[in-house]
Structure 1
């Protein structure tokens, strides 16, 4: 397995939930879209933290998410999501999730989450309770907030209009991370099912708001910009 897609540690906490791919999750050809997969990933993470009794322990936001699709889930497929904490940092945690479906779906994902104060203002180290619950699964794996994508598009890169909707805002009052994967779906339009394995990553730089935006680049490397030209997020296809 890819070193970044670590396996669960023996004795570490894992959490499993089920989801059935619905009409709102799927593209015209029946595959589950990447933004729906991203939503599933954040929902199972929330459910895990809730099941562990840690929901009052600050707010978590996604800094980076990688999704590697070995086989896309499809409409009406029952999928099992198994997630665990695979590393911690000063104000960070890494989470691994595997999706398996009863019709053959297989997705591996790894996300870097930043921990904030309950109201979202200011960084907050994970609590002792968090480290106690997830310490065995995280082990000695330490994660850092460093981002790896080039933060700015090449000079003169043409941009295409994009927009985030009010419906894309979440309880933190900024564009939810899953909505950024709709930008990648726009870039993939016309290719109903990308060839698998399909491996892509989005890094988030500053919070986004509802309203006009722009995309420059293509599905292999793209930048999502606000109206002032600030990079909100970057998209990369990853290759072995």
Structure 2
């Protein structure tokens, strides 16, 4: 991260693990960037990138042979860095590997490269779910053994990086209708749909795309079809952002709180890196 000059391994300003390439346990796929994934300028959108991150996760799980024994996962946090825009008609190269494990969850890195030099980096905190109880479930020893081949972190803990903003001091509050097509197998709004909120915000604030950008979303509770979802915007100027970590005190941070009434469903943060 810029600013502090020090490497940060945790928190909102963390340094993402570099790809261990070449490595036999880095999962590698390529496919073309298509018209349904781009904005009006031809840039790979955040929501489309996160669909690709989900898709390569499913492909990776199938390749490892654990699609039947570990079929259900939920994402608690996704961090995406837009380093250089990936543009229309490029070919995407996605590489996925594990950057941290525990008995019931893991962090998975996905690097998306375009052949023309575009780059997006991501890390997601995934929780293995028991089909019957719908709660966290232990990952099998043989699955963990494979995941740990690319990381030395085997005591991964959950710690929230973000706090919700209040209605009282929000810079903006706007409704965000939930559509039938937003709902997935869990009867909740799909993870990638949360990132359409980010794209809407960037449409109104294109200056955020002038430099490399980090966007992080943490999920607190699911959004259902009939929920009256609202987005609460807060903008924290540079010098007032120590709450996000000292390494971010030199830059502005925007947060978007996904709320249904008084219940917080998710929180996002955007800032230049």
Q: Same fold (TM over 0.5)?
A: yes
C-alpha contact 2:214 2:272 (8 A) present in aligned 1: yes
- Are 1:233 and 2:270 counterparts? no
Q: Please list every run of 5 or more consecutive structure 1 residues that lacks an aligned counterpart in the other structure.
A: none
- Are 1:26 and 2:42 counterparts? no
Cα-to-partner distance string for 1:173-226 (whole Å, 9 max, x where unaligned): 211111001011111114298123111100001111123310010581110112
Partner residue of 1:183 out of 186, 197, 202: 197
Partner residue of 2:50 out of 38, 41, 50: 38
**Counterpart of 2:225?**
210
TM-score by length of 1: 0.91
**2 CA distance for matches of 1:67 and 1:27?**
17
**Counterpart of 2:87?**
74
C-alpha contact 2:50 2:192 (8 A) present in aligned 1: yes
**2 CA distance for matches of 1:218 and 1:140?**
34
Kindly state the Cα deviation for residue 11 of structure 1 after the two structures are TM-superposed: 5.0
Partner residue of 2:178 out of 144, 159, 164: 164
- Are 1:135 and 2:148 counterparts? yes
**2 CA distance for matches of 1:120 and 1:169?**
21
C-alpha contact 2:106 2:125 (8 A) present in aligned 1: yes
Bigger Cα Rg: 2
Partner residue of 2:209 out of 183, 194, 204: 194
Task: Assess, with a 3 A threshold, how the Cα gap between structure 1 residues 218 and 23 changes in structure 2: closer, same or farther.
Answer: farther
Task: Assess, with a 3 A threshold, how the Cα gap between structure 1 residues 60 and 36 changes in structure 2: closer, same or farther.
Answer: same
Question: Which structure 1 residue ranges, 4+ long, deviate > 6 Å from structure 2?
Answer: none
Aligned residues: 239
C-alpha contact 2:208 2:272 (8 A) present in aligned 1: no
TM-score by length of 2: 0.81
C-alpha contact 1:152 1:231 (8 A) present in aligned 2: no
C-alpha contact 2:111 2:122 (8 A) present in aligned 1: yes
**2 CA distance for matches of 1:239 and 1:222?**
15
C-alpha contact 1:12 1:136 (8 A) present in aligned 2: no
Aligned-pair Cα RMSD in Å:
2.1
Q: Please list every run of 5 or more consecutive structure 2 residues that lacks an aligned counterpart in the other structure.
A: 2-6, 10-14, 236-253
Cα-to-partner distance string for 1:102-127 (whole Å, 9 max, x where unaligned): 12111111111111013571110111
Task: Assess, with a 3 A threshold, how the Cα gap between structure 1 residues 53 and 229 changes in structure 2: closer, same or farther.
Answer: same
